[in-house]
């Protein structure tokens, strides 16, 4: 029998705010998290892109010094957001063997890796920190969370580029259905605002180069969009079976109604221009939710602000929703947050959950001249979703042809 899975806790540290609530409020206010970078390495390396969406609250302001020193920034963000989500869920007293962790990253401990390489070259092997490997490994965030909560059912790491944390949510749904845990901490993190990724993404023409106006650089669906804005941070959801949540008197934000993962098998970076496999991920998520396309009332789109990606996603949506697509309010929240890579799906899942919880679709900022090839109903100011039943999807697509979709239902 299919179990009902619900969201009972949320946490985030993002370019918009140090908590999920602060980030949501800033999103509704139309704020941008993109800012010029004030680091010496920008000029030192003559970077062609001089801005990004850095986390608004720095980890050293939140964590104890010993934690901060023993964790890569990606794990620091993850731990901060997971603790917030766990507290938001009521810090439930649960047998650790019934708590699981499905966490993700697109790249992992990049700062640790590259700092250690610099140390090796400049100072020799004896100066490389003994904690380097535990700090740089991609599963470090999941491990840190599992030890902090604690959770002993399992701690798994999803690494599927920018689809990673939505895939983690889909996997958490499956693991709860399979009875591997009663509660799962799911989400994603990324911390790669570093000269090397900026140079590499810029070299492949993926980043916006609006150095003169960072706040308006991320422009989903706009005819003048020229690439994404690199972001950082983490987002976490506490998921559990409805039976378990009700038994402990938990507050429920929304239902995680289904999730799905597919692969393009098309190109290492470019999406399938026809959106075939992405469409199948949407269809499969709706089937898992026992829903039809006509029941969908809101979409949080992947919408990175790249010329090719935004159109490919539109074509995927058109395949599923057809004539119903113009009736669905679409939010593209990367306009405000930038692109958190492996953490972006979890953050957008939280925005989707809060949209249903507050019956308000968040705005897409910086859209001044909508691309006529993408005739969606894009939300540009907070919009009331109404009092009736709501069903929303959150899309994530990543390099390598990874597609992941999560479906949420109002309660």
Strand partners, 105: 189
DSSP tally for the chain: helices H, then strands E: 14, 15
β-bridge pairing 233-241 and 183-190: antiparallel
* Half-sphere exposure in the Cβ direction for 215 (13 Å, CA): 5
Beta-carbon neighbour count of residue 409 at 10 Å? 21
Active-site annotation holder among 162, 244, 298, 357 = 162
* pLDDT (tens place) for every residue of the chain, 411 residues total: 799 999 999 999 999 999 999 999 999 999 999 999 999 999 999 999 999 999 999 999 999 999 999 999 999 999 999 999 999 999 999 999 999 999 999 999 999 999 999 999 999 999 999 999 999 999 999 999 999 999 999 999 999 999 999 999 999 999 999 999 999 999 999 999 999 999 999 999 999 999 999 999 999 999 999 999 999 999 999 999 999 999 999 999 999 999 999 999 999 888 888 899 999 999 999 999 999 999 999 999 999 999 999 999 999 999 999 999 999 999 999 999 999 999 999 999 999 999 999 999 999 999 999 999 999 999 999 999 999 999 999 999 999 999 999 999 999
Active-site annotation holder among 175, 194, 244, 339 = 339
Listed in order, strand segments (DSSP E) in 180-245 are 183-190, 233-241
DSSP-derived 3-state class of residue 70: helix
How many whole angstroms separate alpha carbon 379 and alpha carbon 335? 12
How far, in Å, are 72, 100, 105, 190, 377 from residue 150 at the CA level? 20, 9, 20, 22, 43
302 is catalytic: yes
267 is catalytic: no
Spatial strand order in the sheet of 402-409? 154-158, 99-105, 183-190, 233-241, 5-13, 254-263, 402-409, 391-398, 298-300, 329-331, 377-378
339 is catalytic: yes
Active-site annotation holder among 194, 244, 298, 302 = 302
């Amino acid at each position: 029998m299919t179990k009902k899975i619900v969201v009972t806790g949320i946490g985030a540290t993002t370019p918009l705010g140090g908590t999920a609530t602060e980030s949501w409020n800033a999103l509704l206010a139309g704020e941008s998290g993109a800012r010029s970078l004030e680091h010496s390495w920008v000029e030192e390396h003559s970077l062609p892109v001089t801005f990004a969406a850095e986390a608004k609250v720095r980890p050293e302001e939140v964590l104890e010094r010993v934690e901060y020193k023993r964790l890569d920034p990606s794990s620091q963000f993850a731990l901060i957001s997971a603790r917030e989500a766990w507290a938001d869920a009521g810090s439930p007293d649960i047998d650790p063997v019934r708590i699981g962790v499905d966490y993700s990253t697109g790249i992992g401990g990049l700062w640790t890796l590259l700092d250690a390489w610099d140390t090796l070259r400049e100072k020799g092997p004896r100066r490389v920190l003994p904690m380097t490997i535990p700090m740089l490994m991609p599963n470090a965030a999941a491990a840190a969370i599992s030890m902090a909560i604690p959770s002993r059912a399992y701690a798994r790491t999803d690494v599927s580029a920018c689809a990673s944390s939505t895939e983690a949510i889909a996997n958490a749904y499956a693991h709860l259905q399979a009875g591997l845990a009663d509660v799962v901490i799911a989400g994603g993190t990324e911390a790669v605002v570093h000269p090397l990724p900026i140079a590499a993404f810029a070299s492949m023409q993926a980043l916006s180069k609006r150095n003169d106006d960072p706040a308006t650089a991320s422009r989903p669906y706009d005819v003048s969009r020229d690439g994404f804005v690199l972001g950082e941070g983490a987002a976490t959801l506490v998921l559990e079976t409805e039976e378990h949540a009700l038994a402990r008197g938990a507050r429920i934000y929304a239902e995680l109604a289904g999730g799905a993962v597919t692969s393009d098998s098309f190109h290492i970076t470019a999406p399938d221009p026809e959106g075939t496999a992405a469409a199948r991920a949407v269809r499969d998520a709706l089937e898992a939710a026992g829903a039809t396309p006509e029941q969908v009332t809101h979409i949080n789109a992947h919408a990175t602000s790249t010329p090719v990606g935004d159109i490919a996603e539109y074509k995927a949506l058109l395949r599923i929703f057809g004539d119903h697509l113009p009736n669905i309010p679409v939010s593209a929240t990367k306009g405000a947050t930038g692109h958190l890579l492996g953490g972006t799906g979890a953050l957008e899942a939280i925005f989707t959950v809060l949209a249903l919880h507050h019956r308000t679709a968040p705005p897409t900022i910086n859209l001044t001249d909508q691309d006529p090839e993408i005739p969606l109903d894009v939300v540009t100011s907070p919009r009331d979703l109404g009092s009736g039943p709501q069903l929303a999807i959150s899309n994530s697509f990543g390099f390598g042809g990874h597609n992941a979709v999560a479906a949420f239902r109002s309660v």
